[in-house]
Amino acid sequence: MTDSSDNNTAPSTSQMWGGRFQAGPSAVMEAINASIDVDQRMAEEDIAGSLAHAAMLGATGIISSEDAAAIRNGLEQVREEARAGKIAWSAALEDVHMNVEARLKEIIGEPAGRLHTARSRNDQVATDFRLWLRAACDRIDAALAAYQSALVEQAERHADQVMPGFTHLQTAQPVSLGHHLLSYVEVAARDRGRFADARKRLNESPLGCAALAGTAFPIDREMTAETLGFDRPMQNSLDGVAARDFALEVLSAAAICAVNLSRFAEEIVLWCTRRFGFAQLSDAWSTGSSIMPQKRNPDAAELVRAKPGRIIGSLVGLLTVVKGLPLAYSKDLQEDKAPVFQAIDDLELAIAAMTGMASDMSFNPRALEAAAGEAYSDATDLADWVVRELGKPFRDAHHIAGSIVKAAETAGVPLAQLPLADMQNIDPAIDERVFSVLSARASMNSRTSLGGTSPVRVREQVAAWKRRLAAAQVSGV
């Protein structure tokens, strides 16, 4: 591998590891063995790990301070070149580790060969991967926090807006639109918790586990772990190089998060149809049809709805790779990064799209309120009134309310327009007070229990979430 401005010839793979071999690999072997097209994304992490390792080698006297300084300066130059996109990654050098080391040798010469003392590509790649995923977890957490903030802002604006709540996609009971939106804030909090848990468990350092058995050199693994921001070194060298459950856990969190986003995306698709007419996305989040000029398609929401297929596929793919591997390292594990990178890319894009749509959506109050009062959505309130005011057991009240609903259906009127006399034909104890609960808005306002949909409760939850999100932003959590 060479810098684009350098005319030196890059060392071949066999020069890096092939002392036992008389010939280089075949073209097919080189192609299947190379991973640089994927793992070059970990160049930053690889260089950080090498800087920590070199500093430790110098501090423990395993290499001279002069060599440690030369390696540090050379790696910093490699990092600058990588950030500037000036490194020509070579498939002949297989992976990011060998590419970085080869470029380092071009810059500083013989001392570069001392960098790999007391480590292996096995612990090196495991360290890089954990560093990369740790940063990914942090980015996803910040993105989900922004998504939550967008939902909280909409919920605050629409705490008093009544809409139909659904079960089985059938109108069930009236709820506050703000309450509905806050439900996804809660969901996102659990998603953030899963990524935080995964981050906590992956934040242990494999560096120093070497190939599989540790090393005879007097290394200081506590030093490298602390330098790289890990909580501690991993305690078993076999586990250090072989474990990939940390990646599986992040993928699991990503798959669940994608499914949760997809559920809201599906609602956006439904709400934006003419049949529902509850909401509309602006031109920024809609597309048109190549043949039907009247169309406004919620393509962003539909694409978010599709992302779980890819992300779940990544999880299943990596589970399948790992499931049959004996300890410690096998080359199969080279296939771990592509599905993870793809899944994280897809998830970050989906979260960004959902945040944009959550901020952008406008709502149709008339359509929401009209739909909230349909299909006798206040029938439960009627039954509750019978229990509360007439002292009936709920099962009896349920039967009375059902009979009144049937009478209203026969008359073709909502419950609030059914004559009192018709209700009294079913239960003579019913009086005119019943009409105070027979509206969608009255139903919504009455649900004041903890976690309920009353606008009073919604505003309390909005305030609580604003405090929580602001506190987390200040603390960096």
Query: Inter-axis angle of helices 96-108 and 65-83, to 10 degrees?
Result: 120
CA-closest candidate to residue 263, choices 343, 196, 181: 181
Question: How does strand 204-205 pair with strand 232-233?
Answer: parallel
Residues 152, 182 contacting (CB under 8 angstroms):
yes
CA-closest candidate to residue 276, choices 357, 152, 358, 372: 372
Could you give the CA distance from residue 260 to residue 244 in angstroms, rounded to a whole number? 25
Per the residue annotation, which of 64, 65, 282, 289 is the catalytic one?
Answer: 289
Please report the sign of the dihedral spanned by the C-alpha atoms of residue 410, residue 411, residue 412, residue 417: negative
Per the residue annotation, which of 4, 5, 168, 449 is the catalytic one?
Answer: 168
Backbone angles phi, psi at 175, to 5 degrees: -135, 165
Q: Which residues make beta-bridge pairs with 297?
A: 287
Q: Is 399 a catalytic residue?
A: no
Q: Which residues make beta-bridge pairs with 174?
A: 164
Q: Is 180 a catalytic residue?
A: no
CA-closest candidate to residue 286, choices 276, 295, 299, 273: 299
Place of tokens 């010839």: 9
- What tokens does 471 get? 């506190």
End-to-end Cα separation, the chain, in angstroms: 40
Q: Over the Cα atoms of the chain, what is R_g?
A: 31
| Positions marked catalytic | 168, 289
